[in-house]
A = this chain, B = another copy of it.
Amino acid sequence: MKTGLSTTTLADQVEEKIIEYIKENHLVPGDSLPNEMQFSEMLGTSRNVVREALSRLRMLGLIQSRTKRGIVVTEPPLLNGFKKVLDPNLLSIKTIKEMMGMRIALEIGIAEFLFANITEKKIEELEQIVSRQQAIGINNLSVEDEMIFHTKIYEIAGNDFILQFNRIMHPVFEFSKQNYESYFQPVNEKLNEKGDIIQHTDLLRFIKNSDKEGYQKAMQKHLKPYWEFLYNYD
């Protein structure tokens, strides 16, 4: 099969075929695949092409290869590819806004799980985080401090996937705050003047009072700058 160049390359097709092979044969993590030469013969392409396709699947975590043992299917870490691709420099404004929307939706929606899982012990841990941050003062809060609180919330909610997802998205928000500082600055100041700023200590109060709706409203306000950016920038 010595075809020329085209929009879809042989590697693309072989990648697709291998994924099909896994699905059709109902292979699950631990099962082994044909080796490179066998695929090469099965699909009528060079070993090179097969290797390119396998290399992609290996990167995604769908398979692992080991000498002599061959290729085995593995349970993939779902966000491998997402992480590699999420370079703020490469994202359009539209995409950045959508990520902020995702963040807002998740922070509010996760409250369902937060309030279902909350315990005295967790409240204490949150209190420690908050009091440390109160001591620092709101204006001196580093991006890490901001992150620590919210990460703790996700942790309590008990969903590793969402936690991981947020970790990956986080650099985008950091980048945005810096890159669009001239926008965020006045927005924050205006909110400050109106005394409309919700801090972590406020959020914690709602948690202690078991007031889920209150918490969700407060979180909405806490993330107001993002919301403003999303709807009003440009």
Residues from chain B with a CB closer than 8 A to the CB of A159 are 98, 101-102, 105
The contact of A87 among B22, B80, B89, B231, by CB within 8 Å, is B22
Q: Which of B11, B75, B89, B113 contacts A92 (CB 8 A)?
A: B75
From A60-68, A124-132, A137-145, give the one contacting chain B.
Answer: A60-68
Task: Give the interface size bracket for A toward B.
Answer: 35 or more
B residues less than 8 Å from A52 (CB atoms): 51-52, 55
A76 at the interface (CB under 8 A from B): yes
A89 and B56 in contact (CB under 8 A), knowing A84-B62, A162-B98?
Answer: no
Task: Please list 21 pairs of residues, one from A and one from B, whose beta carbons are closer than 8 Å in the complex, sorted by A's number.
Answer: A22-B87, A23-B87, A28-B90, A48-B48, A52-B52, A52-B55, A53-B55, A55-B56, A60-B85, A61-B85, A75-B90, A101-B113, A101-B158, A101-B161, A102-B161, A102-B162, A104-B113, A105-B110, A105-B159, A108-B109, A216-B216
